Structures are given as C-alpha cells and as structure tokens.
Amino acid sequence: MSSLNLDDAATLLMQLEATDTADLAMLREALTDLAFENRVPHRAQPFVARAARVLGTIVNGTAADIPAAFADVGHAIEEAMRASDGSVVPGERAVARSVESAAAAVGASVPVFELAAPTVPFEQKRSLQHDVGVDQLPDDADRDLLPDFITESNECVVNSEAALLQLEEFPDDEEAVNTVFRAFHTVKGTSAFLGLSRIAAFAHEAESLLSRVRDKEIAYTKGCADLSLRSADMLKALLVSAETGLNGDGRLPIPDGYHELLDALAGYDPTRDANGVTLAILAPTASGGLDDIFPLPLAAATSIASTAPVATNTGTANKARVESNADATIRVRTDRLDRLIDMVGELVIAQSMIAGDELFGAGKQHDLLRKVTHAGKIVRELQDLSMSMRMVPLRATFQKLTRVVRDTASKAAKTVQFVTDGDDVEIDRNMVDVLSDPLVHMVRNAVDHGVEGPDERVANGKPRVGVVRLHAYHASGNVVVELKDDGRGLHRDKIVKKAIEKGLIDSDKGMTDSDVFNLIFAPGFSTAEQITDISGRGVGMDVVRRNLEKIRGRIDITSAPRKGTTFAIRLPLTLAVTDGMLVRVGDERFIVPLTHIHMSFRPEPAMLSTVVGRGEVVLLRGELLPIIRLHRLFDVSDAVQSPLDGLLMIVGDGDRRTALLVDDLLGQQQVVAKTLGDGLGKVPGVSGGAILGDGRVGLILDVTETVALAQSHEPSPVR
C-alpha cells in the first residue's frame, strides 16, 4: 500500500466501513507516508495529513460522528487532489535510499524504489523504521547547506520553545501560536528539501498539532503544551543526530522515543488529557529511555496532571511578544571572531609600547606624539567595537531556565511562578556558555529543595504558589545575576551537622553564616533527606563554583529560615579586557581592577593601630579596615615597609573592604588580559597577566582571592 496515490485512497475509502478497522489503519498509515515522504506537493500535504488524522479518530473509536468523519476524510482527499497535479516528486528517491540503508543495517533485502514501480511492502517498511536505530544521510545531500540548516533550525526551535511557554500562560495569544507554527513549518520544509525525511515527518506532525490550535479545533491545554514542548526537544535531538551524521559516516542515530512521540502527536486527543492517557505515551519505557534526550522527563502520573503545576513567567519575558530581530545581520564563525579579538588585543599592546617609548618621554617629538595619541584613540575605539561584537544578552539563557522551572515544578508537583528581570543585560559570549550550566543546576535546586509543596506553604502562612526570581543588573562594573526563592531557606544547624559527619569541619565555632553556607559547595555535600531523579545526590554545587571561578566570578549566599535563599553571582563584563590601576610594589608592577577600587590615600600616624585577631588596621572615617602588605604576600623585595611612606588603596565592597599597601600609583590603564599558561597554572591571588607599555608583564590581581590569601597568613605588627 506504500505505492498508493490519492485516486487509490479515494477509491478505497468508498469501499470501507467503520468496522474495517485494520484496513482503515492501513489507509491512515499510507496517507501519513504519502504526506511525510513528499510524494505529493507541499500545497497538498496539509489536506492529506488532515485525512490521516481524522481516520485516526475513526480507528481509535474517538470520532463523535462516524458518518461525518468519513465525509471529512473524503473532502480532505478531494481538496488534496485539487491542490496536486498527481505527480510524484523527486523526494521519494531520498526516502528510498533511507529505507534501503536502514534495511542494509539489519541485513534485509529491499528492492530499489522506482518512480512508477511497486515499492517495499508497507508493513515491511514500517517495521524497518521502528526496528532500526539509525537512519542515513541521502547520497546527494548538500553537505555545504546542512551546517547552515542545523544552525538556523536550532534557532527556530529555541524561539518556538519561548513562544510555547508564553502560550501556556496566555492560550489566546495568536502571535505565539503563529511563531511556533512558522518555526515547525520552516524546519519541515527545509529538511524535506535536503532529503532529511525523518525530521520533515516529525516537524509535520508537530506543525499539524499547532495547526489544530491555530484553527481553534482544540484548546492549548496542559497536555497539548507537554506534547508541544516534547516535540521541540525531539527536534533538537534530531538536529543533533543530523550534525552527528554530517560530521561522521552519514549514519543518523534515531533518538529514543521518536516513534512513541510521533504516534502521540498523530493520535492526540484533548479529551484524554485528564486521565493521563496521552501523557503516558511519553513516559520512558526502559532505563535511560528519554532521559538522554530530555534531562527533565515529565511524569505521567494522574495526580500531577490533575493539579496542573506549571511555571509561569511574569517578568519582562512575558510582557513582550516573541519578536524577530529586524536589524540586518550577518553570520560569522565564532573562531574567526575570537581571532579578530586576539589580533585587536595585540594591536592595543603594540600601540601601548609605541606610546611608552622613551622617544616621547623627552618631549621633543610633539607632532609625532600627537599622531600616536590620535592613533591610540582609534585603536581604543576599535577595541571597544570588537569587544561589543562578542557581547550577547542573557535573554536566551533566561528563556531556557523558564523551561527548566516549568518541567521541574511539574515533576515535583509544585506550582511555581518564575519571574525574570534584566534579561537584556549583555556579557561576553564565552561567559554565557560557562554560566548556563551552573544556573540550570541552581534553578533546579531552588524549585526542588527551596520552594515548599503547596500544602506546606499554606501551613507556614505562605501563598500556595512559590516564587523564584532571576534578576540581572550592572553593579560597580560587574554583572550581577541574583537567583532568589521564597522557600524554606538554608538551615545552618543541618548544614553544620552534615559537614561534621563528612569531616569537613570539627565545629562551627567562630564561623559566620556565610562561612557555613559556603560548605554546600563542597564535593558530594547534600542535606537532602530523599534522593530524586532531579537532585539530592550532592553532585553539582562544587561544579557550580568551579565553573564560576573559571570566568573570574564569585558567588555569595544569603538565607533566612522559612524566608528563602538568595544566590548572587558576580561576573566581569568580559574576560579579554581589564580596566585597572597600575601600581608599583618594589620592582614589580601589579594591576588592580578599577571595579574593586574605592579610593587611595597616604595615612597619618594616628590612623594606624593593631587590633587583636585582625592584625594591622587603619581607621578611615570611623571604620577599621585591615591592611594587607602585598610585598609580604608575594615576596617582593625593596618595597616600602611603612604605610606612612607608601599609599593605602581601599578595595572590596560592603563590609569586606580592605586596604592594600602599595609603593606608588602609576596610572589607570586598559590592558588586554592574558592567562598565565599551563606552565604556571593557577597562582593564588592572580587572575592573569598583561603586557605593559614598556614590554614588561604586569600581574592582574584577583582582589577577592588576594584578601582571602592574606587572611590565611598570620597578622604582623605595624613597623
């Protein structure tokens, strides 16, 4: 029946009755293949797909009016015949090769497809498609176009996911429906053109579901939302499979759950959502199952479906429609962009070396000095422009977290409101990649461990709906990302008890709340009483801190029992350029980031003293600040020994301000940050180095690490 055309389908339909379920099922599958495999023109595909869908309601016994359903199928086939010229399109050859390759993988013998000749028996082909775990790129696949197709299709899917989450909150939002429909339609059409029939088939079914929502045939219920979001995940997995085949031997692994999800889309019935029938199709059927594709599989339990816990977003993300960028853009490979940034950095270093030449210090070459100064201004502007090209907003990361909150809340049977703000804040693209995974883990923990269940919240006098807030903003030249929940909060006593059991501490004597809360970053540390498939194994928070340290970020925790917890992540705007103050300590040069500097001054004798337990301190405007001697910390000789002969630089923020003793300030500079290399590795207190104008290397201080390093040393008396 795989060679069936529209005339054959119309003739066969007139011979069948509602009791001929087996033949009706075969006809439905044949029509499905007819649409999916591009054997009818695109303009006829929606009508063929509709005929197959309505036939499914007859086969499943869900058709409210069987005679009307038969008439609907006949009308759809008639419309398809009007829209089609009856010819077979060349895409069938690609399908034939795909099936032949699949057959070869299992040792089956399959005759070659011909345009007008009988093909593989329908039952055999469907069996092959379900049994074989791999597909094959067509022999004539355009490998030059495929990378662009994969990139653009991923963008379409990401945009559709954001629109789907918005649609779940505002079911009548027609623009969101159209956004998702266009995304699936674009992926379907392009993949069919490139011969990726399996992606085209799946995108077609996902598109058909949204078409029913758009045409007001069905409502966008939670079951429909779950199915649509799963479809977006499956399309991502299929695109990964296409990329694997493109970069490998052409074999396309078929993601687990592909056929089950395809059947769920084709047979979706909104009247069966309430008892979990549709959702049950999506549950993993074996260990691993869909987990490898969907990190947070939705539970198919009736209780979860009935309570309908969802995550909503009332921040800026849902105030604005999902809009396309109207600005003209051009796609540039990231390795080329990174190379451009490196070359501009080298240009800045070269210009600094020219400007610092002794020839200009003599003051005799005024015209040349003016020209070099003008060139330096242009180089700085070029550097700022090139750096801005690598800056990206946090919007995409925040949108992904909206989905994480929704799925985690559904699995934990909680109702959580997710509020975002500041998603237009931009940071370096390389930092976004590193920041994404820590945020995902922290958001999961906030929903799973932080926010209580609805009944517990009511018992504690809280609203049933928990709130998780994600806020990004600029502060002191840094980007701050705050994650806050109104849940249980961190329990100091429980953390201390667990830390003592694991041998991390002997007691909490002398430890501040911040010190205790930081214990949760220890590897394997977890206070969860129950291990779930979301969290609780103590894996992740140590990775969070380690990843943040890679990008010179730090994380602070504040918490109060029954009021919630706030994680504040502080990040530099970029890792490539540092605005700093060049200071001299003995014969060495250090660069202190400007974002950490408050002021510098030369103290009076009456301002200096020694305090038990804090060492040297300086009294500044009624506040005692500890003094750190950089020459002792880094073993620098010939440095100023007395604070009265040097300068004190106040660094830090809030109640963590500290005074650094330096010999002299050499001026403000914007330097290109470089890593110290694998040979030196990680040097405590130092975040990197920079080539100065005289060709020497200046070390860039990590102020937070420097202060922590100094506090670990014994205090010394004032000299």
Q: Are 635 and 602 in contact (CB under 8 A)?
A: no
> What length does the chain have?
719
Please tell me the distance from the alpha carbon of residue 502 to that of residue 184, in angstroms, as a whole number: 51
Provide the β-strand partners of residue 690: 698
Q: Output the pLDDT for position 134.
A: 56
Q: Burial of 427 by CB count in 10 Å (0-12 exposed, 13-18 middle, 19+ buried)?
A: buried
User: Rounded to the nearest 5°, which phi and psi values hold at 168?
Assistant: -65, -35
Q: What is the CA radius of gyration of the chain?
A: 32
Q: Where are the beta strands (DSSP E) in 497-550?
A: none
Long-range contacts of range 431-435, CB-CB < 8 Å, 24 or more positions apart?
Answer: 431/551, 431/553, 431/571, 431/572, 431/574, 431/575, 432/392, 432/394, 432/396, 432/397, 434/547, 434/548, 434/550, 434/551, 435/397, 435/481, 435/547, 435/548, 435/551, 435/553, 435/569, 435/571
pLDDT recorded at residue 378: 92
Q: Is-contact 426 391, C-beta < 8 A?
A: yes
Phi/psi of residue 618, nearest 5 degrees: -125, 135
Report the C-alpha gap between 510 and 496 in whole angstroms.
Answer: 12
Amino acid 523: pLDDT: 73
- Fold for the domain defined by 393-572: Heat Shock Protein 90 (3.30.565)
CATH of segment(s) 577-711:
2.40.50.180
Nearest to 51 by CA among 27, 76, 69: 76
CA–CA dist 373, 379 (Å, integer): 10
CA distances from 628 to 422, 510, 649, 660 (A): 36, 22, 10, 5
Q: Residue 353: its pLDDT value, please? A: 80
From first CA to last CA, the distance across the chain in angstroms is 97
CA angle 696, 699, 700 (to 5 degrees): 135
Which phi and psi (to 5°) does residue 545 adopt?
-65, -40
Tokens of 131: 């049994």
**Greatest distance between any 2 Cα atoms in the chain:** 107
Contact in structure between 63 and 57 (CB atoms under 8 Å): yes
CA angle at 138 for the pair 92 and 34, rounded to the nearest 5° = 25
Report pLDDT for 251: 82
Q: So what's the pLDDT on residue 546?
A: 76
Cα 109 from chain centroid?
Answer: 44
Given phi > 0 = left and psi -120 to 50 = alpha, else beta, which region is 422? left
Q: Which residues pair with 567 in a beta bridge?
A: 483, 557
Tokens of 346: 């080298």
User: Locate tokens 């260990």: which residue?
Assistant: 287
Question: Given 3-state DSSP classes, what are the helix, strand and coil percentages for the chain, each rounded to the nearest 5?
Answer: 50, 15, 35
Report the pLDDT value the prediction gives residue 110, as an integer from 0 to 100.
Answer: 32
Pairing mode, if any, of strands 664-672 and 577-585? antiparallel
pLDDT mean by block of 10 residues, the chain; 719 residues: 73 80 82 73 74 80 79 82 54 35 35 31 38 62 81 85 84 85 84 80 85 84 86 90 84 84 81 44 31 32 31 43 51 82 84 76 74 88 84 85 86 88 86 84 88 89 91 83 90 86 79 81 67 48 77 83 89 75 90 85 89 79 87 88 90 76 87 73 80 80 82 51
Hey, what are 662's tokens? 């330096």
- Can you say how many angstroms the Cα of residue 200 is from the centroid of all Cα atoms in its chain? 25
CA angle 166, 171, 176 (to 5 degrees): 50
Dihedral (C-alpha) 299, 302, 303, 306: value to the nearest 10 degrees?
110
- What does the buried/exposed string (b/e) look like for 192-218 if buried means 16 or more CB atoms within 10 Å of the residue's CB? bbbbbbbbbbbbbbbbbbbbbbbeeeb
Residue (of 522, 407, 414) closest to 463 by Cα position: 414
Cβ atoms of 232 and 187 closer than 8 Å: no
Q: CA–CA separation, 54 vs 33, rounded Å?
A: 15
Burial grade of 574 (CB within 10 A; 0-12, 13-18, 19 or more): buried
Of 28, 533, 33, nearest in space to 283 by CA: 533
Q: HEC states along 621-654?
A: CCEEEEEEEHHHHCCCCCCCCCCCCCEEEEECCH
Integer Cα distance of 178 and 176 in angstroms: 5
Contact between 617 and 624 under an 8 Å Cβ cutoff? The reply is yes
Look up residue 708 and give its two tokens.
């922590």
Closest to 693 measured CA to CA, from 351, 402, 371? 351
Dist CA 237 CA 293 (whole Å): 6
Task: Round to whole Å and give the CA distance between 324 and 333.
Answer: 21
Q: Phi and psi at residue 354, in whole multiples of 5°?
A: -65, -45
Q: What contacts 473, CB < 8 A, 6 or more positions away?
A: 422, 425, 479, 480
Q: Is 617 helix (H, G, I), strand (E, B) or coil?
A: strand
Asked if 440 and 479 touch (Cβ cutoff 8 Å), the reply is no
416 contacts: CB under 8 Å, gap ≥ 6: 309, 311, 312, 405, 408, 409, 447, 451, 465, 466, 467, 468
| 79 Cα distance to chain centroid | 43
pLDDT at 469: 93
How many helices (H) and strands (E) would you count in the chain?
25, 21
The CATH number for 136-304, chosen from 1.10.1060.10, 3.40.50.720, 1.10.150.120, 1.20.120.160, is 1.20.120.160
Q: Give CA–CA dist 630/662, Å, rounded.
A: 7
3-state SS, 220-276, equals: CCHHHHHHHHHHHHHHHHHHHHHHHHHHCCCEEECCCCHHHHHHHHHCCCHHHCCCC
